[in-house]
Chain A
Amino acid sequence: MALLEIRNVTRRFGSYTAVDNVTVTIEAGEFFTLLGPSGCGKTTLLRMIAGFDLPDSGQILLDGKDVVGTPPEKRPVHTVFQTYALFPHMTVADNIAFPLKMAGKALPEIKARVSEALDGVRLSDFRGRFPHELSGGQKQRVALARGLVNRPRLLLLDEPLGALDAKLREEMQIELINLQKEVGITFVFVTHAQNEALALSHRIAVMNRGSVEQIDEPSKIYGFPENRFVADFVGKISMMSARVLESTPSHLKLEVSGLGEVVTVGKEGVKAGDNGLVAIRPEQVRISHASDEPQLKNHFLGKVHDFLYVGDVTTYIVELSNGAYIEALLPNSAPGRAKFYDVGDAVAVSWRHDAGIFLHE
């Protein structure tokens, strides 16, 4: 039996539908992420799981029991808030002891569990400090320890890394993964940062305008987005209009106007004559001199329109003969060199027959 089942949940605010008939099933022990732009309904969904908001229709089942009528304090679900919401008048240890005290645990057990939780987030030396004496990362870890200490069935995390700087965020990501593995508690993580979702999750639900667009493992979400929104929201991708000429289980033959034939990996439910988009990730596009011998079937000439150097890689934006732009990513393997091609250079772009994907418009 699934740990959490969200069945056909809808939540409206006036005429605005924040969550629209969402169905999601989360298994015990999973690190599950709700990913989407702001206003997509992910936070409303989280609040309904925590009990701070109620669905207008649909069910939320925890361990098979409908919890919609249960108030937040009675649900075995704890939340790590975006602003941490640490109690300013309590020390780190008292903050972590709070859920245990509320649950009426005996003092010796509280002491032992708090010490254990402090160890778990490497804050044993900070037990007597007050929240305002902590750094952002430390506050974050206290909030995590406080959420986990009473071993909830489910830990909800509402953009918990949003307030941290980039470097610290990366450290905390690794710490989160390890912590979740260690405690074995199911995490439901809400974020609008696609790289965070890809790095942390076992599975991701991509949400848009109150609906779930796709639920899958990170590599599937990134590699095989089901529609234009997912493809565009998660990672970078170049897209061109295309028409299906031939569809087989192993590959698709597409016609891109002004460019010619493009071959991509096969996809269920696509038939000859369908119109849509062909989408290719920048790192799957190879860039070479226009004069080089073609090595792949998808091989097109163009010229460098612009490039973006970010240190480890340079992204080249190549204008193809049909006027479409395609991005190609090239690692900067030669030290001290920012680019291998310059603006205006005649180049060729190519990609493997299984690299591109076809998306219905």
Chain B
Amino acid sequence: MSKGDLREGRVARLLVGGPPFIFLLIFFVGPSLIMILTSFRFPGEFGGLAPIAAPAASAESEHGFTPEAYQFFFSDLLYGEIFFKSFAMAAATTFICLILAYPLAVLIARSEKRFRNLLVLLVVLPFASNFLIRIYAWMIILGPESALSQFINAILGVFGIGPVTLLFSPFAVLVGMVYVHLPFMVLPLYTNLEKHDPALLNAAQDLGANGWQRFWQITWPLSLPGVFSGSALVFIPVLGMFAVPDILGGTGDILIGNLIKDQFLGTRDWPFGSALSIMLTLAVLSVAALATWLARPATGQQG
């Protein structure tokens, strides 16, 4: 390769990689820095932010930088509890999505080639209608007048329990979360499972492995990269989601997302909202880092 080729390669790389890099710089790194800065400031008297430099008129008013927002966060157990609840919700959603998505992904990956694309299309089909409309639909399905509610309460009534309200409960939030995020679990799992060499399962069977052993010894370990990337794709958005708990949850079911939203739109405490966002970002980054590390290609996967 000559020097000219090398230089050409570098220019091409800049042309291809440059625009997205600049985009992320302006719309991700920039806002993040602003958020960090905001989280260390005082809230304004009527919302917004207090000035950094003391205004000449009232020298005693709050101004400059302060770790107050973070102190506030750690001073009240309530916020830690909401963080914990959000993590628990995200974990439960991820787990249920995994349980539901895995058999579906296996089914698609092992179906005839000509049907696979159609089946994948069906998995992503819900995206064709608006997200909020789909959540409101769940409001009707889980509502007290719905056939589902009446059916469940009729059964519970036989055992002398209930009636229960499905809507505006952690259960409703979980159902909504699972429903919205299921495709994000199915797709990476399918992509992984589809690449498995069927000869491996034949070999395992030939060497004495029954169906259960074939799954746990061959299919499951080989699918781990798909499991981890699917889990990250579900876990992380659920952690910050506020629309689903807003619509389907009760008053006690607020998650971090709702808390942050309230700081900006309700309580008007921008610094505290920013501090919460930073905490959430750090939490998400550590989950993402863990998932990336776990999802690194299993040794020998490329065989």
Q: Which residues of A contact B (CB under 8 A)?
A: 50-52, 71-74, 77-79, 81, 83, 85-90, 98-99, 102-103, 130-133, 146-147, 150
Contacts and interface: CB of A to CB of B under 8 A. Distances in A.
B8 to A, nearest CB: 33
B24 interface: no
B208 A131 contact: no
A149 to B, nearest CB: 9
Given A88-B300, A131-B300, A73 B209 contact: yes
Given A83-B199, A131-B303, A132-B300, A98 B206 contact: no
Interface of B: 197, 199-200, 202-210, 213, 217-218, 221-222, 298-303
B208 A89 contact: no
B162 to A, nearest CB: 47
A288 B209 CA distance: 63
A73 B205 contact: yes
Q: Which of B205, B207, B298 has the most CB of A within 10 A?
A: B207
B300 A79 contact: no
B206 A130 contact: no
A74 B197 CA distance: 22
B301 A102 contact: no
A73 B197 CA distance: 18
Contacts, number: 77
B303 A99 contact: no
A248 to B, nearest CB: 52
A50 B301 CA distance: 27
Contacts of B301: 88-89
B223 to A, nearest CB: 10
B101 to A, nearest CB: 21
A89 B206 contact: no
Contacts of B303: 86, 88, 131-132
B157 to A, nearest CB: 47
Contact of A88 (B206, B207, B222): B222
Given A51-B206, A73-B207, A77-B206, 13 more contacts: A72-B205, A73-B208, A73-B209, A74-B208, A79-B203, A79-B206, A81-B202, A102-B204, A130-B299, A130-B300, A131-B300, A131-B303, A150-B207
Contacts of B205: 52, 71-73
29 contacts: A50-B206, A52-B205, A71-B205, A72-B205, A72-B206, A73-B205, A73-B210, A74-B208, A78-B207, A79-B203, A81-B203, A83-B197, A85-B199, A85-B200, A85-B202, A85-B203, A87-B200, A88-B300, A88-B301, A89-B298, A98-B209, A99-B207, A99-B208, A102-B204, A102-B208, A130-B300, A132-B303, A133-B300, A150-B207
A102 B299 CA distance: 22
B302 to A, nearest CB: 6
Contacts of A147: 207
Contacts of A77: 206
Contacts of A88: 200, 222, 298, 300-303
A89 B199 contact: no
Contacts of A146: 207
B49 to A, nearest CB: 53
A75 to B, nearest CB: 8
Nearest to A130: B300
Contacts of A50: 206
Contact of A98 (B197, B204, B210): B204
Contacts of A86: 203, 303
A50 to B, nearest CB: 6
B209 A102 contact: yes
B110 to A, nearest CB: 16
Q: Which of A74, A88, A133 has the most CB of B within 10 A?
A: A88
A51 to B, nearest CB: 8
Contacts of B199: 81, 83, 85
Contact of B218 (A81, A87, A103): A87
B300 A78 contact: no
Nearest to A82: B199
A150 B209 CA distance: 13
A132 B203 contact: no
